[in-house]
Amino acid sequence: MSERRAPGAGRLVAGAAPAGEGAIGDQQRHWVETFAANAEMYGPESSEPGRHAAGLFVAEGLSPVLELGAGQGRDTLELLRRGLEVHALDFAPDALAGIAALAGPGLAGRLRTTVHDVRLALPFAERSFDACYSHMLFTMALTTEELETLAGEVHRVLRPGGLCIYTVRHTGDAHYGAGRSLGDDRYENGGFAVHFFDRPLVERLAAGFELEDVTAFEEGGLPRRLWRVTMRRR
């Protein structure tokens, strides 16, 4: 895993992309700055998909859990409170450090964190996790090709029978088609780049998995219109 300086962050970021490398370099800087300016960007409570995923993982005894795009950790803390071991990954280093601080001594023993850009191979051995959870990481600036590579990486690091639960904004979202087009159903609004999913993309990313469930839900004031996708590694 290489180490490079995070754009705008002034800290070393393991495996991060070179500074200023197109849309993602800009996005990393944007997320680092946004989190610095908003201590609780999505509020203090866990999300609905976070609670749902935690319930399923506990019911099936699936631990450790890999969380991709953990952000400031509203769902990381939920997973930890439910007794699961969690490895939280994000390309925003200060946000990850904040999760460890919030977890405190009571929960931090079951928390690991890694600063990493998911465009690069995941820095974990194959079959090292029982579950993967990701709220709104797959729906970031990633191209379809990058998403296919990421789904393949999730498949590689999950054990057979393991669950992957991820959420994405979809083409029924009010922001779909609005703002600056980045191509590949990606649009930038207010500095945030979003890849809006259609059903064929969900099915493409399920290669090597059983697609068990796709549930629509809404979150936030816009509201964001999302799908919660559940797939099980074959």
Ligand X SMILES: C[S@@+](CC[C@H](N)C(=O)[O-])C[C@H]1O[C@@H](n2cnc3c(N)ncnc32)[C@H](O)[C@@H]1O
Please report, as ranges, the residues that interact with ligand X according to CB under 6 A: 24, 27, 31, 42, 47, 69-71, 74, 90-92, 95, 117-119, 135-137, 140
CA distances from 185 to 110, 181, 226 (A): 37, 8, 15
The residue type at 75? D
Terminal Cα distance for the chain, rounded:
28
Between residues 135 and 232, which has the closer beta carbon with respect to ligand X?
135
The alpha helices in the chain, defined as continuous H runs, are 22-37, 48-60, 74-81, 93-108, 144-157, 199-205
* Beta-strand pair 86-90/65-68: parallel
- Report the nearest approach of ligand X to the CB of residue 124 (Å): 14
Between residues 178 and 210, which has the closer beta carbon with respect to ligand X?
178
SS3 152: helix
Specify whether the CB–CB gap between 208 and 32 falls below 8 A.
no
Between residues 41 and 178, which has the closer beta carbon with respect to ligand X?
41
Between residues 42 and 128, which has the closer beta carbon with respect to ligand X?
42
Q: Which two tokens stand for residue 139?
A: 């729906």
- Report the nearest approach of ligand X to the CB of residue 214 (Å): 18
Between residues 128 and 149, which has the closer beta carbon with respect to ligand X?
149
- Report the nearest approach of ligand X to the CB of residue 49 (Å): 8
- Report the nearest approach of ligand X to the CB of residue 70 (Å): 6
Q: Residue with CB nearest ligand X? A: 71
Sign of CA dihedral 49, 145, 196, 95: positive
Between residues 6 and 234, which has the closer beta carbon with respect to ligand X?
6
- Report the nearest approach of ligand X to the CB of residue 155 (Å): 18
What is the DSSP-derived secondary structure letter of residue 212? E
- Report the nearest approach of ligand X to the CB of residue 160 (Å): 26
Kindly report the backbone phi and psi dihedral angles of residue 23, in degrees, each rounded to the nearest multiple of 5, phi listed first: -60, -40
The alpha helices in 13-92, defined as continuous H runs, are 22-37, 48-60, 74-81
